[in-house]
Chains A and B, each alone.
Chain A
Amino acid sequence: MSMRYVSLDRIQGLKALRRSSTPKAPTRDWQASLLDDCGESHPRTKTIQYDPDRLSQILGASPKTNQYGDYLSVRCWCAQPPRYCPELRALRLLMPDALDEIADPEQWLFLDTETTGLAGGSGTYAFLVGVAWWDGGGLEIEQFFMREYSEERSLLFALRERIAEHPVLVTFNGKSFDWPLLETRYRMSRKISVPAPRAHLDFLHPARNLWRLRLGSVRLSELEHHVLGWDRGADVLSGQIPQIYFDYLRGGPAERLVPVLNHNQMDLRGLAALSSRILSLLSGVEELGQDGLELFGVSRICEKRGEHSRARKLYEKSIASVLPTETDRIARRSLARLAKREGDFELACELWKDALGNSRHGYEAYEQLAIYYEHKARDPEQALQVVRQAIDELRRAIQTGDIAPGPYCEIKVRFDRRIERLERKSRRPLLDAMSARAQA
């Protein structure tokens, strides 16, 4: 079919070809010389930018081949962090339905990727996939690197084999980033099916529970520094990594990739160490932790997983070691909730009484106390008194401008309703008493 193409004469003027920051695009001359070197008849050879041996040398890598082609593999072994054997009890706090075999450290595969962008979507590639597993008391690390986009399939296939050997994935933020991205890559390959790990443990959320209050940020490198006391030294900024890879693809120096590989290695080691630390805290923070915030963090995780008695003990312990005001308030509130749950109203009332005041928690405490007097202690007079006190508190706050009109109305309505019912009740004490007896 003969076709008259749209003329491309004016293509240079297109806005679509302009970019905000121009990358160092290779020049025509450079490409021409490359073509001379490689010969144009084999388009595949054109894509290899470096003498393969030299690239491997620089990266300390060895070329590997499988049925889908070539890729580079970088291996190393580190004594730090040492192998750690997690307790099933601790694991179940993170994954309630964890099977026994998940606790087998031989099954674990730590995973971290370096990608061509953070946006996600089918145009983002994982050009470096690092995995690590326990071996010989330390950590064996393997990094798969694609020298070209065309090596993606062989890389994915190699990764699939490692996941088959160690089927429990361990990541940091991998549940929402690395793994979905890899799933996309497998689907795009149309040849290699998505590997099915037996379990996927992600330590971002536990780390957040434990350390966000203390550190603000829970970036892996920050955690390494503050929790593990490690120092990464000079490290490449994650934001620069895609551009370093693009520059390399366009013929830039391969030496600049070395810090990227190191960065990935350090992420894997940090992840392994951090997971050990988190699991040991979950196993026995009682023995390890002097840090009130860590105690508080573990107790939150315990409470969420329904280990109430342990959570209660830990809350008590964390309150005993000094907590920041806001955290202390949350801890006391949670403790009161757990005490109420276990029928320990003495403790609960004490905590509520301490918490009374003009704040969301304060009013909640008023309300809890009123509920207690009304329904448990069967003392509507006392309940009425608490509610009146709360309403006085509210009035004072709105007059001095210590509460915004929105929350004021919302809270006021709740207490008004309660006081109305209580007043109705107190007018018919006999009936009330009778019904109480009937219920009993």
Chain B
Amino acid sequence: MLGLVANKRRIQTGARMPASQSLAPRPPASLETVHNILGSLVERYRQEEVLTAVRQIPARTAKFRPIPVWVTSALSEAYRAKGIRELYSHQAAAAELVRNGRNIVVVTPTASGKTLCYNLPVVNAVQEDPDTRALYLFPTKALAQDQLSELHDLSKRLDDRFGVFTYDGDTPSDARKAIRERGHIVLTNPDMLHTGILPHHTKWMRLFENLRYIVLDELHTYRGVFGSHLANVLRRLKRIAKFYGSDPQFICCSATIANPGELASQLIEKEGEVVEENGAPAGEKLFVFYNPPMVNRNLGIRRSYINEATRVSKEILARKLQTIVFANSRLHTEVLLTYLQQANPSKPGQPEPIRGYRGGYLPGERREIERGLRDGRILGVVATNALELGIDVGSLDACVMAGYPGTIASTWQRAGRAGRRTGSSCAVFVASSAPLDQFIVQHPDYFFGNSPEHAHIQPDNLEILVNHLKCAAFELPISTDERFGNVNLRELCEQLGEAGFLHQSGGDWHWIDEAYPADTISLRSITSDNFVIIDTTGEDRGKPEVIGEVDFSSALTTVHPKAIYIHQGQQYHVEQLDFDKRKAYVKPVNVDYFTDAIRYTQVRVLEVAEEETISDPAGRTHGDVLVRSQVVGFKKIKFFTNENVGSGKLELPENEMHTTSFWLTLGHNLLAELPFSLSERQGGIFGLLYALGSMATLLMMCDRRDLGTAVGERPPSAASEINWEDFAFPSNTSETKEFFEPNLYIYDAYPGGIGFSEPLYRTCDTLLSRTLELISACPCENGCPSCVGPTADRRERTKEVALEILGRLCRDAQFTATRTAETA
């Protein structure tokens, strides 16, 4: 309480400050200021509809432990000189476990001093034995750079007794040799490890012979495809370490997710301990959920979240509180930046008070902005997720998030950008109308409770594994008694031999190709196959301009012929799609509609892994499937009214993919019992799948593009082929066919599957009950993009049908149908 009073007094002095005066010293935020701001924001609206949550997170006091006695006196002295006399409890616990030779995962929020958890034991080990080497992996180059300065500082305090270097694509080639020899700690990223270090391991002999620690920071970012790749890169790393006679320990750090231990053990394939208790102090924080007010209740249209986020930010900035604004795309960053700079013009002779920060800015510019934030010369910054992970910008007063960052973990990380060890801070999440945003903003308990987010990877995805096995064979011949993932290595090598990549000699399998396999494998993207988009306006002048690119999987739906492609707010009409050359030719236009591709997707079940009846007559299954998809046409949809103003047919190549899928089967009786017409029932099934797909991305911590959805017939009656054009062009057909027993598929949109299907099968109950919550809490009437998808026609009772089906599916689950009754 005392703190608050003191703050209040400071605020008053702050308020008297003439506006032209320099920013420092700024008053820290107080809860009262924040409440004032909120009050002025929602004056005209029903407060509970707009502010769906205002949670006060109490201040936390520090739990200290002494620096362990085994830490060398020079190192503890160096830390003391930096002002660290004691450790937080989790730091001490982590250091002890590492000392005892354990692999660990430290799970703590932003600004809890997690870097010390690995720097202390590693630097101490280097002090004790100067031969010791450690490899730090960060998901981005920028993060490695940031850690470098921290370690340099420590090294300087220890009379430069150890060498720290970053090794990435920017490292000049003449410096590389020195780094290989003299770097005690090498900071790099998974991509560089994959293409630059492992294939040249003989040059890194000193590092590998003495490799004792591998640090994996921001572990939670290694999920899905990227995580599955990394798990295989680590398999290769461990093989090479073993070759040189070392067996490194792993130190991992993760943001809060539900399964850090599981994720770590899947990645490193070793046993480890989870350190979860957080001993770092934190000031109080107000976390606010802001749902932009409705403008059209029927269609579920809300005010633009970008405009609302601007309004919120302006109010906060007007009180001279240092603020960070997060947007989810580069484009939105620029839009927000423009709005906020207009509202806060720079004074003559003074630096711009509001700055942007995103990928594409030059390193020097970034460092300057980071410094400006730390010393208070910059009042506000608009950033993409580039600033989400550990870059040191000091602690700010407020954080505004325009749109849901996608996962609870990154939402907390962004919110953690505001918050000092003492004093108050606030974080405001402004929801867009996307289903995930709407679910989160309307279910604060889901967010504030224990994290339900699981990070999943599939290291044994054959496509990924085989690619890395090729790299592994290039690095060291594969001996037949080795293990590499959960596969029959002998058989796989024989296959690779037949394909002409490997050759057996003296019992071992050797690489037998001129190519350097790591070059063709990207860890980040699903395929490296991209379509470029070319604006042909300048063609007459001989200057057609490339305006962007789209990845292969979304090219067919976004740049098919006659599509309206929207880039940086400008509409383009796709004149031609050159499929073989991977080029789309476009011209700028100004029309009042957008296009929505109709993708016909057919799923054939290849093998059932597990199946079970959930409330009879419905079942859940997961297994292997064959997905064939083709874009067969498109709809033109008018802006704002969402009217269907035309359609067209397309003939584009078909795409085929083996993958894994989870699916629900709705029994015939269940559907027959429903008191709706045939077309209403069908609309409801598609609407339900739309909502299930959205909720699945939430539970799986994945991107919407990582999961595909499709409706299909249960196998026994598959003989009666469905005429897909009926669904593609419902308005054109008078009669729609009844599904006998439909399957609702949610499949992994990556060949071979990326590990979502089985977890979805296991969490089926949660998936269903959360989807029920999503739809029933949505205030629209017949369905909107936030729940069951856009509906053009009021007569479609999509939402009602979807709720009815869900109600029946959840009958046995403890989740009650009463809420359904309320809304239905």
- 8 Å CB interface, B191-226 against A: 199-203, 205
Binds A, one of B74-82, B248-256, B258-266, B503-511: B503-511
Q: Which residues of B contact A14 (CB under 8 A)?
A: 462-463, 466, 751-752
- 8 Å CB interface, A92-126 against B: 116-123, 125
Binds A, one of B3-11, B144-152, B398-406, B485-493: B485-493
A122 touches B463 (CB 8 A): no
Q: Is A437 an interface position by the 8 A CB rule?
A: no
Q: Is A242 an interface position by the 8 A CB rule?
A: yes
- 8 Å CB interface, A194-253 against B: 242-243, 246, 249-250
- B interface footprint on A20-37 (CB within 8 Å = 1, 0 otherwise): 001101001000000000
CB of B415 to closest CB in A, whole Å = 39
Q: Which residues of A contact B243 (CB under 8 A)?
A: 190
Binds B, one of A1-9, A166-174, A257-265, A389-397: A1-9
A150 touches B505 (CB 8 A): yes
Q: Is B496 an interface position by the 8 A CB rule?
A: yes
- A interface footprint on B106-124 (CB within 8 Å = 1, 0 otherwise): 0000000000000000000
* Docked CA distance A23–B508 (Å): 21
Given A5-B488, A16-B467, A150–B514 Cβ distance below 8 Å?
Answer: no
Q: Is A313 an interface position by the 8 A CB rule?
A: no
Q: Which residues of A contact B508 (CB under 8 A)?
A: 149-150
Q: Is A10 an interface position by the 8 A CB rule?
A: yes
Interface-centre pick from B205, B486, B500, B503 (highest chain A CB count, 10 A): B500
Interface-centre pick from A11, A13, A121 (highest chain B CB count, 10 A): A121
B503 touches A119 (CB 8 A): no
Q: Is B724 an interface position by the 8 A CB rule?
A: no
User: Which of B491, B496, B507 is A43 in contact with, Cβ under 8 Å?
Assistant: B507
Interface-centre pick from B205, B463, B466, B505 (highest chain A CB count, 10 A): B505
A121 touches B503 (CB 8 A): no
- B interface footprint on A260-282 (CB within 8 Å = 1, 0 otherwise): 00000000000000000000000
Interface-centre pick from A8, A22, A183 (highest chain B CB count, 10 A): A8
User: Which of A123, A148, A243 is B511 in contact with, Cβ under 8 Å?
Assistant: A123
B495 touches A11 (CB 8 A): yes
Q: Which residues of A contact B488 (CB under 8 A)?
A: 5, 8
Q: Is B460 an interface position by the 8 A CB rule?
A: yes
* Docked CA distance A8–B487 (Å): 8
* Docked CA distance A250–B512 (Å): 10
Given A5-B486, A149-B510, A117–B499 Cβ distance below 8 Å?
Answer: no
- Interface residues of B, count at CB 8 A: 49
* Docked CA distance A23–B502 (Å): 12
* Docked CA distance A330–B499 (Å): 55
* Docked CA distance A25–B463 (Å): 21
Q: Which residues of B contact A5 (CB under 8 A)?
A: 486-488
A188 touches B476 (CB 8 A): yes
Q: Is A17 an interface position by the 8 A CB rule?
A: yes
- B interface footprint on A327-348 (CB within 8 Å = 1, 0 otherwise): 0000000000000000000000
- Interface residues of A, count at CB 8 A: 44
CB of A412 to closest CB in B, whole Å = 27
Closest chain A residue to B527 by CB distance?
Answer: A15
Given A10-B658, A15-B751, A249–B486 Cβ distance below 8 Å?
Answer: no
CB of A297 to closest CB in B, whole Å = 26
Closest chain B residue to A28 by CB distance?
Answer: B498
A6 touches B512 (CB 8 A): no
Closest chain A residue to B509 by CB distance?
Answer: A149
- 8 Å CB interface, B752-793 against A: 752
Q: Is B572 an interface position by the 8 A CB rule?
A: no
B496 touches A122 (CB 8 A): no
B516 touches A11 (CB 8 A): no
* Docked CA distance A120–B200 (Å): 8
Q: Is A56 an interface position by the 8 A CB rule?
A: no
A44 touches B507 (CB 8 A): yes
- B interface footprint on A38-81 (CB within 8 Å = 1, 0 otherwise): 00000110110000000000000000000000000000000000
Q: Which residues of B contact A6 (CB under 8 A)?
A: 460, 462, 465, 485-487
Q: Is B667 an interface position by the 8 A CB rule?
A: no
User: Which of A148, A246, A250 is B506 in contact with, Cβ under 8 Å?
Assistant: A148
B499 touches A25 (CB 8 A): yes
- A interface footprint on B497-532 (CB within 8 Å = 1, 0 otherwise): 011110111111011111111010000000000000
Closest chain B residue to A239 by CB distance?
Answer: B514
Q: Is B475 an interface position by the 8 A CB rule?
A: yes
* Docked CA distance A5–B492 (Å): 11
* Docked CA distance A125–B243 (Å): 18
CB of B711 to closest CB in A, whole Å = 24
Q: Is A310 an interface position by the 8 A CB rule?
A: no
Q: Is A184 an interface position by the 8 A CB rule?
A: yes
* Docked CA distance A246–B515 (Å): 13
Q: Which residues of A contact B492 (CB under 8 A)?
A: 8, 11
Q: Is B139 an interface position by the 8 A CB rule?
A: no
A121 touches B514 (CB 8 A): no
* Docked CA distance A116–B462 (Å): 27
Q: Which residues of B contact A120 (CB under 8 A)?
A: 200, 516
Q: Which residues of B contact A47 (CB under 8 A)?
A: 504-506
B500 touches A23 (CB 8 A): yes
CB of B519 to closest CB in A, whole Å = 8
A13 touches B495 (CB 8 A): no
Q: Is B470 an interface position by the 8 A CB rule?
A: yes
* Docked CA distance A46–B497 (Å): 14
Q: Is B327 an interface position by the 8 A CB rule?
A: no
Q: Is B88 an interface position by the 8 A CB rule?
A: no
* Docked CA distance A184–B496 (Å): 25
Given A6-B486, A8-B488, A25-B498, A250–B513 Cβ distance below 8 Å?
Answer: no
CB of A429 to closest CB in B, whole Å = 43
B499 touches A17 (CB 8 A): yes
Q: Is A428 an interface position by the 8 A CB rule?
A: no
Q: Is A191 an interface position by the 8 A CB rule?
A: no
CB of A55 to closest CB in B, whole Å = 15
Q: Is A19 an interface position by the 8 A CB rule?
A: yes
* Docked CA distance A44–B506 (Å): 5
Closest chain A residue to B512 by CB distance?
Answer: A246
Closest chain A residue to B507 by CB distance?
Answer: A43
Q: Which residues of A contact B507 (CB under 8 A)?
A: 43-44, 150
Given A25-B498, A123-B473, A13–B658 Cβ distance below 8 Å?
Answer: yes
Q: Is B474 an interface position by the 8 A CB rule?
A: yes
Q: Which residues of B contact A16 (CB under 8 A)?
A: 462-463, 466-467, 470
- 8 Å CB interface, B431-470 against A: 460, 462-463, 465-467, 470
Interface-centre pick from B462, B470, B507 (highest chain A CB count, 10 A): B462
Q: Is A304 an interface position by the 8 A CB rule?
A: no
User: Which of B477, B498, B514 is A117 in contact with, Cβ under 8 Å?
Assistant: B514
* Docked CA distance A17–B501 (Å): 8
Q: Which residues of B contact A23 (CB under 8 A)?
A: 500
User: Which of B460, B505, B517 is A149 in contact with, Cβ under 8 Å?
Assistant: B505
B513 touches A117 (CB 8 A): yes
User: Which of A43, A122, A242 is B202 in contact with, Cβ under 8 Å?
Assistant: A122
Given A116-B512, A190-B243, A121–B199 Cβ distance below 8 Å?
Answer: yes
Q: Which residues of B contact A117 (CB under 8 A)?
A: 513-516
Q: Is A187 an interface position by the 8 A CB rule?
A: yes
* Docked CA distance A11–B506 (Å): 26
Closest 9 CB pairs of A and B: A150-B506, A123-B474, A117-B514, A119-B516, A149-B505, A16-B466, A121-B199, A123-B511, A187-B202
Q: Would you mind naming 13 contact pairs between A and B with Cβ atoms under 8 Å apart?
A: A6-B465, A8-B495, A17-B466, A17-B495, A17-B501, A28-B498, A117-B514, A120-B200, A122-B474, A125-B510, A149-B510, A190-B243, A243-B514
B residues with a Cβ closer than 8 A to A are 199-203, 205, 243, 460, 462-463, 465-467, 470, 473-477, 485-488, 491-492, 495-496, 498-501, 503-508, 510-517, 519, 658, 751-752
14 more A-B contacts (CB under 8 A) besides A15-B463, A22-B500, A122-B200? A3-B486, A6-B485, A8-B462, A10-B462, A11-B492, A16-B462, A23-B500, A116-B512, A121-B200, A121-B475, A122-B475, A150-B507, A183-B202, A190-B243
